Amino acid sequence: MDRFLQAHCVPFLDGNAGLFQAPPERVESRWGTWWISCAAVWVPRTLRAPMMEKESDSMLPPSVYERLGLARVREKVLAGERLNLEEGLRLLECPDLLAVGALAHQVRTRLHGPTTYYVVNQHINYSNICVNGCRFCAFARERGRPGAFELSVEEILQKVRERLHDPITEIHIVGGCHPDLRLDTFERLLREIRRIRPGVRLKAFTAVEIDHFARLEGISTRAVLERLKAAGLDMLPGGGRRSSARASDACSVRTS
C-alpha cells in the first residue's frame, strides 16, 4: 500500500474530460493479491485549472458566491479578515460544498502554502464491552457474549512496543463504556505509554467515555480531564457524542 500511495497520491489529470484517475496497482498481502486504484472523480471545469495554479486563482468566480449569498464572505476571505458568527452559519448552511471548499483552500494556502500535514496513527481499542447498548452500534458487546474482548494494561503496552520501529506520531485509544474499568487504570496506562514513547501525542477517550468515567468515580467531568491530562493525555478524539437525554434514550437499550 505504501508503494501505491507514493506512486499515485497525486493522480494524473485527463484534461479533456476533467477526470482525475490513477492506474491500478498490484499489491501483495497476507490475504492474497489485490488490484487497487483511485476512484475516478469528476472535477468541474471551473475548478480544474484554478486548483492547479497559484493561490490567488483558487477561488470560484464572484458570481458563484453572489448567487449563494456569500459575496461578503468571499471578500473577507480574500482580505484575510475574520468571519463573524452569522457568516459562519451561512457557510454551514451553504449547499455548495465546492464553493465552501474553495474558500477554505484559499485560507489554508495563505496560512501554510502548499504544504499538507498528517499524522502516523496507531489505533488501539482497549475493550468493546459497553453498558450503553446503542441500537446503531456494531462495535459494542455485552460481557460474556461472543466477540466481547478486554485488553489488560500490559497487553495494550505490548501493542505499543510492537510498533516502536514505526514513525508513530499519535496513539489513539478508545473503547466501550466498560462497567468496571476505573479511572486509575487509564491513568496508569497513559503514564506507561508516555514512558515508552515520550514524544508521541496521546489522543484518547471520547466525550462519552469521559462522562462514563465521571459517573463511575462520582466526580465531575472536569476532574476526570484534569487527572487524565496530568497522566499524559493530550487531546480527545471525535466521535461517541451523546445528544439530549431524550434522543439518547431513543437510540439506546440500557443493559445496566
CATH code, 197: 3.20.20.70
159 and 134 co-located in one domain: yes
Q: Which pTM was predicted?
A: 0.60
Q: Read off the DSSP letter of residue 39.
A: P
Determine, yes or no, domain membership for 140.
Answer: yes
Half-sphere exposure of 40 (CA within 13 A, CB side): 9
Is residue 49 included in any domain, yes or no? no
The continuous run of DSSP H or E covering 231 comes out as: helix 221-231
Quote the strand ranges of the chain, DSSP E: 12-14, 19-21, 25-29, 32-36, 41-42, 121-125, 170-174, 201-204
Q: How many domains does the chain have?
A: 3
Residue 70 counted as domain residue: yes
Same domain for 154 and 84, yes or no, is no
Q: Which domain holds residue 38?
A: 2-42
Residue 140 makes CB contacts below 8 A (sequence gap 6+) with 128, 129, 130, 132, 133, 134, 176
| Same domain, residue pair 178 and 93 | no
Q: Do 127 and 212 share a domain, yes or no?
A: yes
pLDDT in tens, 49-91: 344 444 445 678 999 999 999 999 999 999 999 999 999 999 9
* Same domain membership, residue 101 and residue 7: no
Mean pLDDT of the chain: 80
In a domain, 256, yes or no: no
Q: Domain for residue 156, yes or no? A: yes
